[in-house]
Structure 1
Amino acid sequence: MKKIYTYGHALEERNLTIADMHANKAVGRKMTQVTAQNAQEAEIIADQDIDMIITGSDWYPDVRRGAPNTFITAALFAGRYITNEEILAGAIDAAMKGADSVLTPRSLDVVEMIANQGIAVQGHVGMVPSKSIQLGGMRTVGKTADEALAVLEDMRRLEDAGAFGCEVECVAEDALAAISKHTSLITNSIGAGPAGDVIFLFFEDICGETENPPRHAQSWGDGAAIRRQLDQERRKAVKGFKDAVASGDYPAQGHVVSMLAEEKDKLLEALDKRA
């Protein structure tokens, strides 16, 4: 563990720093990153020694409670923060609460604006979902030399804007292997093969909770089957509740508390007088 001060000047410990990431990149040590939406998921991830967690900025405080010492990135959702002022305020708020970095899919000006405030920031290259309409849909990017070079150019622009890393989504694996040697960014590969410095997957995909997972995902569990079983058990329980109310079996004597006998007599007497 490394002692660090957060952006809000709180003295804490982290499993990983950005300097460590660059040292790992230099020697080819792969790192791992998994999404979390709440403290329960974050605790599971941290317990299994995953290097990094990424979460939405609104979920960050709860996720941090589950993983107090894990490097956590807070993603600034495009629809949550609209203007540059809102984006910067969101980034500062997340950093003040202890987020170790923020991620934004927005413009280079936005990345530079956040970096200029001393906040560790990451961008997003390749198949950025919010830009898929411009790419002809959800598809792999970088299958041609021109597209691969364009991804590298995006990385270099992020470097110039002050980013330390980027999410690389659905890029041809051999394209990333070739261009990653030409960037200093910490690359987080999701659907872009093993050449990324960080291999990244969604928690629900790993746990087998996604009914139709993307091609790049693999599960090491069968959470979907457990969810279906839980759904059936919930349906059975809710029906049981309705049937018990209809039959008069619920609430039963063990579920209620009665008045003191003498107080009930007083109440009935008082009600009779009112009638």
Structure 2
Amino acid sequence: MSRRPTVADLRANRGKHQYAMLRVETLDEAEAAAQAGVELLSVPAALLMHPRFRAVAPHAFACPGDNFFNIGGPDKMLDWALTMLRHGADAVYCSGSVAAVRLLADHAVPVCGHVGLIPSKATWTGGFKAVGKTLDQAQSVFAQCRALEEAGAFAVEIEVVPHSITDAIADHTDLFLISMGAGAGGHAQYLFADDVLGQNTGHVPRHAKRYRDFAAEYARLQGERVAAFGEYVADVHSARYPAPQYLVDGDPDVTAAFRAWLSESV
């Protein structure tokens, strides 16, 4: 698509096209994602507001997000969301209350909610593990989807939910489902660029497929950095630096005259 997808496009393509979505943190990542054909980008607010963001990712559907406790209650969430729209957001992520989602939707803000494993609310579902493996949990995930849909959300991120449960939910909602580790029943697949690039050195989520090993490359580059700095220190201490090729030559007559002037003046 030669233009940015719209909410109407996403809704119309439910079940017809699987969208690729990435969380990117830098302009370089955003530009690479756009050039690679990633259609949907989750971005920090600061990145969205960077004056070059739309230059590097002109056709990406951009959805900025932050945890609700970093933003505040519904009124502050609305102010934040309107600021995001003014800076070119196509939608906003809201992990806050249903009331917050309803307030945003009432102001025509396209809102993406969150169900399943919600990191900021993981204490309610037993920590960082799959949600929806029991009947009660599956029913709760669907109830949250229904509440968010009724509040006006057009999409939800559904995270680490059994794929069979996601499939069933997709059959009974008009929401655009963004799957993070929740299976192909979602209408978009969502990963973090950090995981795709292998930039993390700690725990890697089960659903995260690593396509590169940037952590190893960064470690190699850090080793090269230390080695280069060490060679520089050794050159300075042994007077190998600065060598003649790194110096600017002066006219001997000018230098002699300058020294004579110094002797007479100082």
How would you bin the TM-score normalised by the shorter chain?
A: 0.7 to 0.9
Which residue in 2 is equivalent to 1:18? 7
Which of 21, 31, 47 in structure 2 is aligned with 1:43?
A: 31
Output aligned runs, 1:52-71, within 5 Å. Answer: 52-60=40-48, 61=50, 62-71=52-61
Output aligned runs, 1:74-223, within 5 Å. Answer: 74-211=64-201, 212-223=203-214
Percent of residue pairs bearing the same amino acid type: 32
Which of 8, 12, 22 in structure 2 is aligned with 1:34?
A: 22
Q: Indicate the RMSD between aligned Cα atoms, in angstroms.
A: 2.4
Change (3 A) 1:256 1:167: farther
| Deviation of 1:65 (Å) | 3.3
Aligned-partner Cα distance in 2 for 1:236–1:17: 50
| Deviation of 1:39 (Å) | 1.8
Change (3 A) 1:152 1:239: same
SS in 2 for 1:59: helix
AA aligned opposite 2:162: A
Contact 1:41 1:66 in 2 (8 A): no
Aligned-partner Cα distance in 1 for 2:87–2:254: 54
Normalised by the size of structure 1, how large is the TM-score? 0.85
AA aligned opposite 2:6: T
Normalised by the size of structure 2, how large is the TM-score? 0.87
Change (3 A) 1:246 1:78: farther
Contact 2:23 2:43 in 1 (8 A): yes
Aligned-partner Cα distance in 2 for 1:262–1:112: 82
| Deviation of 1:238 (Å) | 2.3
Moved more, 259-268 or 115-124: 259-268
Change (3 A) 1:263 1:186: farther
Change (3 A) 1:259 1:162: farther
| Deviation of 1:265 (Å) | 6.5
Q: Structure 2 regions of 5+ residues with no counterpart?
A: none
Change (3 A) 1:118 1:261: farther
AA aligned opposite 2:210: S
Q: Structure 1 regions of 5+ residues with no counterpart?
A: 3-12
Aligned-partner Cα distance in 1 for 2:91–2:191: 18
Deviations 1:175-227 (A, max 9, x none): 11112211111110001111111111111222233333111111222323322
Change (3 A) 1:208 1:76: closer
Moved more, 120-129 or 63-72: 63-72
